[in-house]
């Protein structure tokens, strides 16, 4: 085995192990955020409804204390917002309580972070910016080395000169053809 191929194998093996964690993070989050139009990949919502004695659509200064008293949430309230003349929204740490002032109907929506997925998406979308930008760049460099070194792992019929080459060509053609067609 040539020295070049030995180096490729060493690089591919060592970096391959190193990249497992981040590859799973980016792949799983990739599927999740690909379908952002269909679902919220970061939060799940829990909706609860009940009713209180209707405070009526009076001035907010009068209505707000009544609503808070009748809701008896027993937890800190961040702020309130008179969304419409007949709706008062109460913002809590985990979501929103919406009160219909004329009927007393209450709809509480609690948002829960999806375990693991929230953090994976945070990393994938680089929401935190630096220093994750550096880590993500380094990971991208590792992927490039993995891809290039992988090409030279095997020689012969199963390598670049044979089946491996055909598969590689397919993998390269797919994004190229899509790119040309999608661009119109």
Partner 1 sequence: MRRIMFTTLAVLLAVVAVAVAKDKTYGKGVSEGEFTKVSAILGSPDDFVGETVRVEGTAVGVCSHRGCWLELSSDVEGESIRIKVEDGVIVFPKEIIGETVRVEGVFKANSPEVAEKKCDRTKPGDEPVACTTTYEVTGVGAVVVGK
Residue 74 contacts partner 1 per CB under 8 A: no
Residue 131 contacts partner 1 per CB under 8 A: yes
Segment near partner 1 (CB under 8 A); pick from 4-12, 122-130, 145-153, 161-169: 122-130
Per CB under 8 A, the list member of 5, 16, 44, 60 interacting with partner 1 is 60
Segment near partner 1 (CB under 8 A); pick from 39-47, 149-157, 164-172, 173-181: 39-47
Q: How far is CA 5 from the centre of its chain?
A: 38
Structure tokens at 4: 């070049």
Residue 164 contacts partner 1 per CB under 8 A: no
Residue 85 contacts partner 1 per CB under 8 A: yes
Per CB under 8 A, the list member of 1, 2, 17, 79 interacting with partner 1 is 79
Residue 70 contacts partner 1 per CB under 8 A: no
Of the two residues 89 and 151, which places its CB atom closer to partner 1 in the complex?
89
Residues making contact with partner 1 (CB under 8 A): 36-37, 39-43, 60, 78-79, 81-85, 89, 91-93, 95-96, 111, 119, 122-123, 125-132, 134-135
């Amino acid at each position: 085995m040539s020295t070049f191929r030995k180096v490729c194998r060493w690089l591919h093996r060592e970096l391959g192990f190193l990249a497992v964690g981040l590859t799973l993070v980016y792949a799983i989050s990739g599927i999740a955020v690909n379908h952002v139009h269909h679902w919220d990949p970061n939060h799940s919502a829990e909706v609860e409804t009940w009713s209180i004695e209707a405070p009526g659509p009076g001035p907010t200064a009068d209505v707000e204390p009544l609503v808070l008293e009748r809701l008896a949430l027993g937890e800190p309230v961040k702020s309130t917002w008179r969304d419409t003349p007949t709706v008062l929204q109460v913002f809590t740490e985990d979501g929103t309580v919406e009160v219909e002032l004329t009927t007393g109907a209450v709809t509480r929506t609690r948002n829960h972070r999806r375990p693991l997925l929230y953090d994976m998406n945070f990393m994938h979308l680089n929401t935190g910016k630096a220093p994750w930008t550096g880590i993500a760049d380094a990971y991208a460099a590792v992927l490039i080395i993995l891809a290039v070194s992988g090409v030279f792992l095997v020689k012969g019929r199963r390598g670049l000169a044979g089946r491996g080459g055909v598969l590689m060509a397919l993998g390269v053609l797919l994004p190229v053809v899509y790119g040309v067609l999608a661009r119109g």
